[in-house]
Structure 1
Amino acid sequence: MNSTPLPTLDTSWLTDQLVQLGLHAVAAVYLNMLLLLLATVLLSLLSGFIARKIMVGMLQKFASRTTTSFDDYLLQNKVVLHLSRIFPLTIVVLAIPVIFADFSGWIAPLLKLTDVYVVLLGIWIIRSVLRTSRDYLKTFDSLKDKPIDSFTQVLTIFTFFIGGLMIFSLLTGKPLWTFITAMGAASAILLLVFKDTILGFVASIQVSTNDMVRIGDWITMEKYGADGDVVEINLTTVKVQNWDKTITTIPTYYLISDSFKNWRGMQRTGGRRIKRSIHLKISSIKYLSPEDVARLSKIHLLKDYLQERQQQIDRHNKEKGIDKTLLINGRNLTNAGVFRAYASAYIAQNENVHKELTMMVRQLEPTTTGMPIELYLFSNDVRWVYYENIMADIFDHLLAAVRYFDLEVFEMPASDDMRRLSEAQNLVTRAIPPLETLQN
């Protein structure tokens, strides 16, 4: 950058020629300046065009011969375009003392403006290089799921901050250190202004260090309506693409201050949990008679279980001398218990169930909606559509099988049920004669 103006050159020849052509001396000076300015603009545009074509062409040829994608990202992020602007800038800096030789008071302010442009050009170049580095690092498998955007944004903000201080220093003529000292005194205000940025940066480091969230993770954050895949992690926000393709934006620091669910473990194990109940009508639960046991033994999945279980029960009752004229005496099989055994056998042989994870059919506490028989297992396919189909197939089968065990599934009365009940009551009322008729 220029601290003192460059020495001026003699441009009186063109002015003298214009005066000889009959122009007034003052008009000749101004026209001389305009002609030189036009020539400088044209030369700057031409040099910028030539430099851009040469530099971009060379880099494209070089990129086509290399296997790395870094040079491709250099072109994509316009690094070469910003570098090519150095050549017309140099021409302008050299031409200003010549163009304004007759207006020496303008030279220093204009050169100061070129210094400001140098700072801005440096910021643009650094920002483009940072973006290139970010895009290139994302091509590595080990870094794809890291919050690289957050660190890039921090460096970009720091670059703009230093660049802003340098511009203020150039425009005011005061040393850069003066502004840095003033910033130290105003640190409380800076902390307040950049609170979200600072919190986001700290959160990004903690998220990355603790491996809490990666790009591509499925997370659920009900408080903010987020339920989907993480598509971007940057300095201030985390973008989540929900299953309905909407985008939810969450402040990054909320990931460490609030609770959220990360489904990465489920996806990594290859099993997705199924936890659903069938509510049995309690009045349909009963002991099984020998005839019932014989009938249910025809079910393939229950044949061996019923044979072994019935032998154990008979042996126990015989040893204890139990009177079996009443089913309630001693040990007995129930249709609900046998149904649980059937459900366990069914999911154990189902090819869509993950055999290395927990499989359980359990009875929960009876409620006003019946007795829940809960299935707790994991599908071996974590994809949403396949998972839903697997779960539906299992429960379709079990709901249809309930009637073979003389069980009923609890249902709240529907409008049709109430209508049929009302119609039945009306029929009974019409069939029974009034009390006065019976008395007569």
Structure 2
Amino acid sequence: MLPLEWIDNHPLVSTSIALILLALAAYAANLVIKLVLLRVLHRLLKFTPYGKDPELSRQNVIERLSQAAPPLIIALGIAIVPNLHDVAVVAIRNVANATIILMLARAISAVLNVVDVIYHRRPKARLRPMKSYIQVLKIAVYVIATVMMIATLMDQSPVILLSGLGAMAAVLILVFQDTLLSLVAGIQISSTDMVRVGDWIEVPNQDANGDVLAIELHTVKVQNFDKTITTIPIRRLVTDPFKNYRGMQESGGRRIKRAINIDQSSIRFLNQDELDRLASIGLLENYLKKKREEIAQWNASLGERATVPANTRRSTNIGVFRAYAEAYLRNHPHIHPSMVIMVRQMEPTSTGLPMEFYAFTNTVVWVNYEAIQSDIFDHLYAILAEFDLRVFQEPAGHDMQQMGKLLAQPSRATQAE
């Protein structure tokens, strides 16, 4: 008996051989695509912008699409396998078709990744981030693919399954509640331009203070200044208050708002010699000249009452210092000249008289800002002695030691005895 006749007389053997040959054909197609076709395509793509860009080629669109070839061969070839029951043919074909749908969905997802990468390279991409929309499209692709796969495995029309989704709408809304709320929040943030990638934001309720790394469907990633990353639910940026420093960064100036507490017991009037000495300071020359003329005219109008010092106007050391500090800020090379510059007294407290300095630097770079601010206050603290003013400070351990030494010294009367 010939081998072919023997095989024909044994249906199980012929079916097994046909299935093995079909599996080998699918495997061979997979090898040919990976070893030959994909290599040729990659070499051709190297001459295109897509192939030269490693970030785009890393998405593996072609590789994912090629994975649909083996199940496609199985789906087409299963019908020619002899002696295979119709139920088995339908089951294998349906599984192969469902696998093809899954591979196509993965390929579409990779294409969406490519779109996202290309979009974020645009200069204005951070003004309107679309990563959350890409994620929504991916979810939609996989949901549709899941419905089609289930319909294929059940050998039913997808329309029948979709018609039954109406009754499951409430369940689906409950399951995808967070996703829907996050999508709405993302649309609100994007449409109102509340947050962009790269913005410096501060969210006290979430312990976040740093730069926005990514705005995704469900979360916003913030890299804090200590290099830790805080993940904030995107809905919190709509419901909770937060601070965005973008306006400061775009203005080109960062605010200095700090006070020096002056010891109130050091505040007094200045005599003529002290005014002459302070007038030699360049920043005070014009101010004191005008101030002296103004005070002289005022006092001259008093007549005989000018003989009482309490009736006259006189310059104070804190007033002259305030004028000096404002002139110093206005002439500082790193202070923004077109923004508010002000030196003012605050309400006195038990820790002294706060003298607040309000101005803006001409840079928003954090390191440079802190250096400028420190240099300014280094100078202001050191120059206080020229005006015979003292900074208020709580008694420290050294002060208590000096006080103890003074109390321990015998009085002069005791020494005389």
Question: What TM-score, normalized by structure 2, do the two folds share?
Answer: 0.92
2:291 aligns with 309
Structure 2 counterparts to residues 9-408 of structure 1, below 5 A: 16-17=5-6, 29-67=11-49, 75-99=57-81, 101-321=83-303, 323-325=305-307, 327-408=309-390
Kept after mapping to 2: 8 A contact 1:74/1:80: no
Question: Measured at CA, do residues 233 and 15 of structure 1 come closer, stay the same or move farther in structure 2, by a change above 3 Å?
Answer: farther
For 1:230 and 1:63, how far apart are their aligned partners in 2?
Answer: 35
Residue 302 of structure 1 aligns to a residue whose secondary structure is: helix
1:3 aligns with none
Question: What TM-score, normalized by structure 1, do the two folds share?
Answer: 0.87
1:411 aligns with 393
For 1:94 and 1:112, how far apart are their aligned partners in 2?
Answer: 11
Q: Which amino acid aligns with 1:245?
A: K
Kept after mapping to 1: 8 A contact 2:61/2:110: yes
For 1:41 and 1:69, how far apart are their aligned partners in 2?
Answer: 32
Deviation at 1:39, TM superposition (A): 3.3
Query: How large is the Cα RMSD of the aligned pairs?
Result: 2.5
Deviation at 1:410, TM superposition (A): 0.5
Question: Measured at CA, do residues 97 and 395 of structure 1 come closer, stay the same or move farther in structure 2, by a change above 3 Å?
Answer: same
1:402-426 alpha-carbon deviations (Å, 9 max, x no partner)? 1110000010111221232233223
Deviation at 1:178, TM superposition (A): 3.3
Residue 382 of structure 1 aligns to a residue whose secondary structure is: coil
Residue 112 of structure 2 aligns to a residue whose secondary structure is: helix
Kept after mapping to 1: 8 A contact 2:94/2:155: no
- Alignment coverage as a number of residue pairs: 415
1:6 aligns with none
Q: Which amino acid aligns with 1:239?
A: K
1:8 aligns with none
Question: Measured at CA, do residues 105 and 195 of structure 1 come closer, stay the same or move farther in structure 2, by a change above 3 Å?
Answer: closer
Moved more, 170-179 or 212-221: 170-179
Residue 283 of structure 2 aligns to a residue whose secondary structure is: helix
Residue 164 of structure 2 aligns to a residue whose secondary structure is: helix
Kept after mapping to 2: 8 A contact 1:217/1:230: yes
Kept after mapping to 2: 8 A contact 1:145/1:216: no
Kept after mapping to 1: 8 A contact 2:116/2:130: yes
Q: Which amino acid aligns with 2:350?
A: T
1:60-87 alpha-carbon deviations (Å, 9 max, x no partner)? 3444334468986653211101222233
Question: Measured at CA, do residues 168 and 86 of structure 1 come closer, stay the same or move farther in structure 2, by a change above 3 Å?
Answer: closer
For 2:228 and 2:306, how far apart are their aligned partners in 1?
Answer: 65
Q: Which amino acid aligns with 1:192?
A: L
The runs of 5 or more residues in structure 1 that have no matched partner are: 1-12, 20-24
For 1:30 and 1:422, how far apart are their aligned partners in 2?
Answer: 110
Percent identity, please.
37
The runs of 5 or more residues in structure 2 that have no matched partner are: none
Residue 65 of structure 1 aligns to a residue whose secondary structure is: coil
Q: Which amino acid aligns with 1:247?
A: I
Kept after mapping to 2: 8 A contact 1:313/1:331: yes
For 1:110 and 1:83, how far apart are their aligned partners in 2?
Answer: 21
Moved more, 406-415 or 326-335: 326-335
Residue 235 of structure 1 aligns to a residue whose secondary structure is: coil
Residue 214 of structure 1 aligns to a residue whose secondary structure is: coil
1:373-407 alpha-carbon deviations (Å, 9 max, x no partner)? 11111111111111100000000000000111000
For 1:56 and 1:409, how far apart are their aligned partners in 2?
Answer: 76
